[in-house]
Amino acid sequence: MIKVLPVTNKKELKQFVKFPFTLYKDCDNWVPPLIKDEMETLDFKTNPVSKNAEAEYFLAYIDGKIVGRIAVILNHLEINEIGKKKVRFGWFDVIDNIEVTKALLEKVYEKGREHNLEYAEGPVGFSNMEKAGILIDGYDEMNTMITWYHYPYYKEHFQQLGFEKQATWVEFKLSIPPSIKEKVAKFSGIVKERYGLSVIRFKNKKEILPYVDTMFELLNNTYNTLQTFVPIQQYQIDYYKEKYFSFIQPDYITCIQDKDGDLIAFSIVMPSFTKALKKANGSLFPFGWYHLWQAQRKNDRAAFYLIGIDPEYQGKGVTAIIFEEMQYLFNSKGIEKVETNPELKENTAVQLLWKDYNPIQHKERSTFRKSL
């Protein structure tokens, strides 16, 4: 018999976080999160997302053994201000038993109907700044620090239960040439001169801080027409600044300013932490911190995380400046391969950015939706 029970204390929350470690213990391509980070993210006493969202966590049991988990989420900003009558679900993991999946999703439907919502969608996080989407292609690839990995049967369960794809993201691997392409360097110079643009370079993390809020404003302006858009709030900016700042390296950040010193574009790239997190297996101690430190020091792979361009400058060649800076960085660091973050499939403007770097789509993921 399947029992689905709410998480009511810290011990059960830790079981909720650690369930995938059991489910994926024999999977070479599953990359675990840091347990401490997950606990802090899911605890609304430490995560200020509670200002605009609420969540309940559930564990499914068969004969006393945990066989699945799910988070049921209401984003009140999305529901009340944007008008999307949606109940979210995320942190969804399950054994290959469709009855368990069905039992977990019943908790989502209950919450949605209780609040007179129109549909359920997931897996997603509390907002559009968290991980999203079931992996539907690329099961032979490792997930990155900002994505989930899933077994193929997940999508089969959703399809059998009458869900339809909602949003789809694609991911690419890029090959970095040993030197800058002449046309990129030439075009970059033309764009700088034409619009009076210049590159801001950082020597240390402290110099980055004054620009962080403006970067998030640019993100809001860059992506506000996409179907998944929910405005990023100031408390989220402060929270993510604190959460991810230790991973940031100043020379991996490119910022571009206009002649008045106003930020008009930025990109954030990081060394790939995928293999380091796999070795750490959820913990910084005793040796997890060392693997992450080594990934920052010496790495032949990197990952694009965020890119934002003021709408006024989109389509004017600003990306040539970003890629020129990134090319010099990658060559100096010995970076040979770069992985993009998930990009909405319809966002062809972003995908065109990679056309000169032999892009290979290696992963695809989707959220799934069902009317209530």
Q: Is 365 left (phi over 0), alpha (psi -120 to 50) or beta?
A: beta
Say which DSSP state 160 is in.
Answer: H
23 vs 323, more confident:
23
* Encoded tokens for 50: 């509670």
pLDDT recorded at residue 228: 63
DSSP string, 189-242: HHHHHHHT-EEE--SSHHHHHHHHHHHHHHHHHHHTTSTT--PPPHHHHHHHHH
The residue whose two tokens read 């799934």 is 368
Mean pLDDT of the chain, nearest integer: 91
- Given a cut of 80, whether residue 81 has pLDDT beyond it is yes
Q: d(Cα 237, Cα 217) in Å, to the nearest integer?
A: 10
CA distances from 185 to 53, 200, 289, 318, 323 (A): 45, 17, 38, 12, 9
User: Smallest Cα–Cα separation from 165: which of 139, 133, 187?
Assistant: 133
- How confident is residue 130, by pLDDT bands cut at 50, 70 and 90? confident
Helical residues (DSSP H) of the chain, grouped into ranges? 10-23, 35-42, 76, 98-114, 153-160, 182-195, 205-223, 234-244, 274-280, 288-297, 318-333, 348-351
pLDDT tens for residues 144-153? 999 999 999 9
Indicate the Cα dihedral angle 271, 346, 307, 322, nearest 10°: 90
CA distances from 130 to 186, 240, 354 (A): 37, 10, 24
SS3 142: coil
SS3 162: coil
Strands 86-94 and 119-122, sheet pairing: parallel
What average pLDDT does this structure show over 110-114? 97
The share of the chain scoring above pLDDT 90, in percent, equals 65
- Given a cut of 80, whether residue 299 has pLDDT beyond it is yes
Strands 198-200 and 253-257, sheet pairing: antiparallel
- Given a cut of 80, whether residue 335 has pLDDT beyond it is yes
- Contact criterion met (CB below 8 Å) for 140 and 315: no
What average pLDDT does this structure show over 29-56? 92
Q: d(Cα 111, Cα 245) in Å, to the nearest integer?
A: 35
CA distances from 302 to 35, 63, 141, 351 (A): 23, 44, 15, 17
pLDDT tens for residues 249-291? 888 999 999 999 999 999 989 999 999 999 999 999 999 999 9
pLDDT tens for residues 216-229? 888 877 776 666 66
- How confident is residue 46, by pLDDT bands cut at 50, 70 and 90? confident
SS3 89: strand
* Encoded tokens for 310: 């003021």
Angle among Cα 347, 352, 357 to the nearest 5 degrees reads 135
pLDDT tens for residues 180-199? 878 888 889 999 999 999 99
What pTM was estimated for this model as a whole? 0.92
Can you list the domains of the chain with their CATH numbers? 2-169 (3.40.630.30), 177-335 (3.40.630.30)
